[in-house]
Amino acid sequence: MGEKGRGWNLGLAGLLTPVTIWLGLFFLIPLLLILAYSFGTSGVYGGITLGFNPGNYLKVFDPLYLQIIGRTFFIAALTTLLCLALGYPLAYFIVFKGYRRRNLLILLVMVPFWTSLLIRAYSWVVILSGNGIANKFLQFIGVTDEPLTLIFTPEAVLMGMVYSYLPFMILPLYASLEKFDTRLKEAAKDLGASRWQTFWRVTFPLSMPGVIAGSILVFIPSAGEFVIPQLLGGSRTVMTGTLIQTQFGAARDWAFGSALSVMLAVLLLAAILFYVRRVGTDKLEGM
Amino acid sequence: MAAKAGGPMQKGVGKLPDRALFLFSLLIYAFLYAPILVLMFFSFNSSKSTQSWTGFSTEWYRALLTDQTIHDAFRTSMIVGVTATLIATAIGTLTALALTRHNFRGQTFADSTIYAATVMPEIVVGVSLLVFFVAVFLPLGVELGIVTIVIAHVAFTVSFVTIVVRARLAGMDESLEEAAQDLGAGPVTTFVRVTLPLILPGVMAGALLAFTLSFDDFVITFFVSGVGSSTLPLKIYSMIKFGVTPVINALSTVVLVVTMILIFGGSRLLSRREGA
């Protein structure tokens, strides 16, 4: 550690120049640009006049748009919760009951994690559409006689989201449970704790870093999602991502689209800070 | 003592939750794989329907082989993926070295920017790059196309490479570098002969991650691609929008199988290297 370079020198500048140029020019400056555009005024043919026009942000309070934003955060939160409820038992199973098959079991989670989200969302289009497998199954078990409208509903979007982001929850949970010292469980048991008590008072609190990481990894992309609502929600379940895309596409209102993007980024950041504060600090204390 | 006496009974109670947990896990795996299998299944359907089975056929795979637009999209995806991966891996490795081997003013800012780039919603990155390219690149005569796609892909993958390589560097024994330098090796020789071979698995993992992210990316590419060039995900998306046909299932099956082979192969390679 004593050998660590201190302060700036030529070598360090050389190492950092490429990333500074790339992330500065193609990440930070574009973000500042949409911040500037969000206060601009869109022309009729898509041009933009810079200035200080808070109108784009005020437009967000239109009940129509408020409903879309509310729906976005509701679906994202529900997706996160469902992923946690479905993913935690699986991660627990792999770590504590997987034994020698542990590596294979986690690899089976990594395969969907690495494969195209677009293709995995499309698989639900095939299943839910018209007279697809889902409807055939429902008719077979006698829930319905006529095919039901399953696609282009909020439930279809939720289904697609949970399916797409479940591996994003399981992997960090696995990583944090894997580090767990099983002797702590034995100690709790020896001290007379039931399985239930051991889980809630020992195992779960110690896996909090995984819960937080997984929740953030699921919540952010689902709140910004635009492919799944497009394919499975249609025009009836519009989410913020779809709304932003429309402003930069058909609607050609770049100023409003920029304002929505800035707002989405800021709201997400606030939600994460709030979540980490609420769930994080009091549970993470003493770790 | 009391706990010991309760032992066998607790074990008896413990069996039911264990079985429930096993069953639940099985269902989750089924949930993860069933939709993919359904999709693959209908790629072999003889009728144009993706909903009812009429018989086995490889017609849609033959259609795949003759569709020139799909071949073009695949070529674009490969060119973009390889170029972006090479650039992002080089820049990411240098950045990881800077962040682990040096303390400097502005380090917190650099760290935050790198993490922000990994968590920023893709749609925000996509539209901000679109606005930037239209405002800065178009006046310079650079149209939206393969160049802007590569630039965007490097911008969103470089942070992932940095994080992966950095994790490897953090676990490295620095005294080896010190030893090399004590023996008279310069900084460049030390890096090429000592540091790089040691962090190579991390660099390779970072490159693999960058390639996969680039090859699969839809959202950011959608905004920065312009009208001329289409990558494979863009092609798949437009095919789905145009109308669901088994050709999409066939194409998806090919992409899925190739990805799976890469993952299994990659994990084999990594575990063998760790074992050696």
**Domains in chain B with CATH codes:** 75-229 (1.10.3720.10)
Q: Tell me what percent of the residues of chain A surpass a pLDDT of 70.
A: 94
Residue B276 is predicted with a pLDDT of 37
Q: Is the pLDDT of residue A260 over 90?
A: yes
Q: Which of A58, A21, A64 is nearest to A41 (CA)?
A: A58
The overall average pLDDT reported for chain A is 87
Q: Is the pLDDT of residue A4 over 80?
A: no
Taking residues A182-204, report their average pLDDT: 87
Taking residues B16-42, report their average pLDDT: 91
Residue B275 is predicted with a pLDDT of 44
* Chain B nearest-CA residue for A222: B121
Cβ <8 Å between A5 and B22: no
* Pairwise CA distance, residues A88 & A67, whole Å: 31
Q: Tell me what percent of the residues of chain B surpass a pLDDT of 90.
A: 45
What are the Cα distances from residue A106, in Å, to A87, A172, A174, A205, B163?
Answer: 12, 11, 8, 22, 21
* Pairwise CA distance, residues A256 & A39, whole Å: 9
Contact between A122 and B247 under an 8 Å Cβ cutoff? The reply is no
Return left, alpha or beta for B144; rule: phi > 0 is left, psi -120 to 50 is alpha, else beta.
beta
Cβ <8 Å between B35 and A110: no
Whether B138 and chain A come into contact, CB under 8 Å, resolves to: no
Q: Is the pLDDT of residue A181 over 80?
A: yes
A 10 A CB-CB count for B175 gives 10
Taking residues B127-151, report their average pLDDT: 93
Q: Identify which has the larger pLDDT, B50 or A171.
A: A171
Which uninterrupted H or E stretch holds B86? helix B68-101
Residue type, B75: R
A 10 A CB-CB count for A12 gives 18
Say which of B17, B135, B240 has its CB closest to residue A231: B240
Read off the pLDDT of residues B182-192 as tens digits, 9 standing for 90 and up.
898 888 888 88
A 10 A CB-CB count for B158 gives 30
* Pairwise CA distance, residues A163 & A115, whole Å: 12
Residue A1 is predicted with a pLDDT of 39
* Residues of A with Cβ-Cβ distance to B14 under 8 angstroms: 195
Q: Is the pLDDT of residue B212 over 70?
A: yes
Put simply, the chain A residues between 134 and 163 with a CB less than 8 A from any chain B CB are: 136, 163
* Chain B nearest-CA residue for A260: B124
Residue A282 is predicted with a pLDDT of 47
* Pairwise CA distance, residues A84 & A182, whole Å: 22
A 10 A CB-CB count for A38 gives 21
Q: Indicate the pLDDT class of residue A37, thresholds 50, 70 and 90.
A: very high
Cβ <8 Å between A110 and B22: no
Most confident of A127-136, A171-180, B48-57: A171-180
Taking residues A169-176, report their average pLDDT: 93
Cβ <8 Å between B31 and A268: no
Q: Which of A191, A281, A233 is nearest to A68 (CA)?
A: A233
Q: For helices A117-128 and A133-140, give the axis angle rounded to 10 degrees.
A: 40
* Residues of A with Cβ-Cβ distance to B104 under 8 angstroms: 5-8, 12
Residue B273 is predicted with a pLDDT of 55
Q: Is the pLDDT of residue B136 over 50?
A: yes
What does the DSSP 8-state code read for residue B16? H
* Residues of A with Cβ-Cβ distance to B245 under 8 angstroms: none
Whether B240 and chain A come into contact, CB under 8 Å, resolves to: yes
* Pairwise CA distance, residues B146 & B268, whole Å: 33
Read off the pLDDT of residues B224-272 as tens digits, 9 standing for 90 and up.
998 878 999 999 999 988 877 889 999 999 988 888 887 777 777 666 5
Q: Which domains does chain A have, with CATH numbers?
A: 59-284 (1.10.3720.10)
Cβ <8 Å between B21 and A126: no
Say which of A15, A114, A163 has its CB closest to residue B263: A114
Residue type, B28: I
What does the DSSP 8-state code read for residue A99? G
What's the start-to-end Cα distance of chain B, in Å? 46
Cβ <8 Å between B244 and A119: no
Chain A and chain B share a number of CB contacts under 8 A equal to 246
* Pairwise CA distance, residues B65 & B75, whole Å: 14
Say which of B17, B162, B216 has its CB closest to residue A116: B216
Taking residues A75-79, report their average pLDDT: 96
Query: Nearest CA of chain A to the CA of B229: how many Å?
Result: 17
Q: Identify which has the larger pLDDT, A39 or B267.
A: A39
Q: Identify which has the larger pLDDT, B47 or A284.
A: B47
* Pairwise CA distance, residues A190 & A82, whole Å: 33
CB-side neighbour CA atoms (13 Å) of A104: 5
Query: Nearest CA of chain B to the CA of A251: how many Å?
Result: 14
Residue A234 is predicted with a pLDDT of 82
Residue A7 is predicted with a pLDDT of 65
Taking residues A155-162, report their average pLDDT: 94
Token duo for residue A33: 């640009």
Contact between A275 and A215 under an 8 Å Cβ cutoff? The reply is yes
Whether A129 and chain B come into contact, CB under 8 Å, resolves to: yes
Whether B189 and chain A come into contact, CB under 8 Å, resolves to: no
Q: Identify which has the larger pLDDT, B154 or B3.
A: B154
A138-152, A164-178, B178-192: least confident range: A138-152
* Pairwise CA distance, residues A168 & A189, whole Å: 32
Put simply, the chain A residues between 1 and 60 with a CB less than 8 A from any chain B CB are: 1, 3-8, 11-12, 14-16, 18-19, 22-23, 26-31, 33-34, 37
* Residues of B with Cβ-Cβ distance to A29 under 8 angstroms: 132
Residue B3 is predicted with a pLDDT of 41
A273-277, B66-70, B235-239: least confident range: A273-277
Residues pairing with B70 in the sheet: none
